[in-house]
Amino acid sequence: MNVPFFTCGGLFWWVDRYFYAGWRIQECIWTKRCRLLDPYRIRRASGKFGDCYQALMKFVNDWEIPQPPKKAVVFLHGLYQGTAGFEKMGSHFDKDYETAAFSYPMLRYDIVRTVDALNKFLDKRADIEELNFVATGIGGLILRAALSGNPDWAKKVGRSVFIAVGSRGYAQLRQYHDKKWFRWVFGRMADLLLPEYAVAGIPPMSKEFALIMAGRGDGKGVCPWLNGDNDGILRVADAKDKTAKADFLAMNRLNPLLLTDDQIIGLTYGFVKNGQFGTGKRIRVGQYAANLWDDN
C-alpha cells in the first residue's frame, strides 16, 4: 500500500526514467526501486518500474488527464540546481508544449551515465514528434554530449536555448582542480567544468540553438575576482559560442535569478517557438559586448 507523500522531487539519489503530462517515474540509484510523482511532486506509487507505469495509466484514466501536445520542451538543470527552478518558465510553455524537467543525481553521475539516463528518458516517449530543450549550467554540456552520440531522439530535436551555460567551461576553477575539496564539492561532474574538457572533450552543439547570458557590459561584471564581465558565477567569455544562431546579454542580472526573469522567459519562448528572440538579429548591448563576441 502506498501513502501519498510530498517529496523534494529527487536531487541527489534519484534519476528520472519516464515522464507524461507532468508526471514522472524516478528510480533510486541505490535500491533501484521506482516511485511515481504527480505534477506537485507527491509520491503516488512505488515499486518496480512496471508497477509505477501501470499506476500512472490508471491515474490518467481515472482522473481523465488530457493527452499532452505532441511537441515537448525538456529542461536540463545544472549543478546544485533542481527541476523546481524551471516551474515559472515551464508555465509559459504549457499551453503549446508538453514540458518535462529531467532530474539526475548531479554529484553521483558522471557525464557518461547522465547521457545514458537522458537517452533512456527520452527514448521511452516515441509518441512525441518534436523535442526542444532549455538548458542551464552543465545542462547545456550534457545536451551537447548526448547529441554527439546521435541517439534516436535526435531526429526529433527542434530548437534549444542555453541560459548561462559554460560552453567553454569555467576557467576560474582550473586553479582549484587539484585541491582535495574540488571533487567533494562538484562530484563526478568535476572534470566537465574545466575548459579543456568542455571545449575539446565534447563536440559542438549540432542543432539550432541560442545563447542567453548575463553581465554588466563593462568588462568587470558582478564578481570582481572572476576577471571579466560575469553574472556572479559565469563569465560571459566562458558562455560564448559563435555557432549559436542568436545571443543575448542580459544586463545587470544575477545568475540564480535568470530562470525566473520575465524578459528572459519571453526571449526563451520566442526562440523555441519562432527561431528568433523577436528581432531576427543577434542582440548585443554596447561596444564592449560587441568586442567580446568578435574575439577568438
pLDDT, one tens digit for every residue, the chain (296 residues): 566 666 666 667 899 999 999 999 999 999 999 999 999 999 999 999 999 999 999 999 999 999 999 999 999 999 998 888 999 999 999 999 999 999 999 889 999 999 999 999 999 999 999 999 999 999 999 999 999 999 999 999 999 999 999 999 998 898 999 999 999 999 999 999 999 999 889 999 999 999 999 999 888 899 988 989 999 999 999 999 989 999 999 989 999 999 999 999 999 999 999 998 875 444 444 433 444 444 44
Confidence at residue 6, expressed as pLDDT on a 0 to 100 scale = 62
Residue with cell 553574472: 231
Confidence at residue 283, expressed as pLDDT on a 0 to 100 scale = 43
Question: The C-alpha cell of 243 is what?
Answer: 555557432
From residue 174, alpha-carbon distances to 179, 180, 194, 195 in Å are 10, 13, 6, 8
From residue 197, alpha-carbon distances to 49, 70, 228, 244, 249 in Å are 35, 35, 21, 19, 25
Concatenating the DSSP letter of every residue in 97-132 gives SEEEEE---TTT--HHHHHHHHHHHHHT-TT--EEE
Confidence at residue 285, expressed as pLDDT on a 0 to 100 scale = 43
DSSP state of 41: -
Question: The C-alpha cell of 19 is what?
Answer: 515522464
Confidence at residue 82, expressed as pLDDT on a 0 to 100 scale = 84
Question: The C-alpha cell of 114 is what?
Answer: 547522465
Beta strands 23-28 and 34-37 are antiparallel
Confidence at residue 225, expressed as pLDDT on a 0 to 100 scale = 86
Q: Which domains does the chain have, with CATH numbers?
A: 1-67 (no CATH), 68-294 (3.40.50.1820)
Confidence at residue 166, expressed as pLDDT on a 0 to 100 scale = 95
**Which amino acid type is present at position 164?**
A
Confidence at residue 241, expressed as pLDDT on a 0 to 100 scale = 93
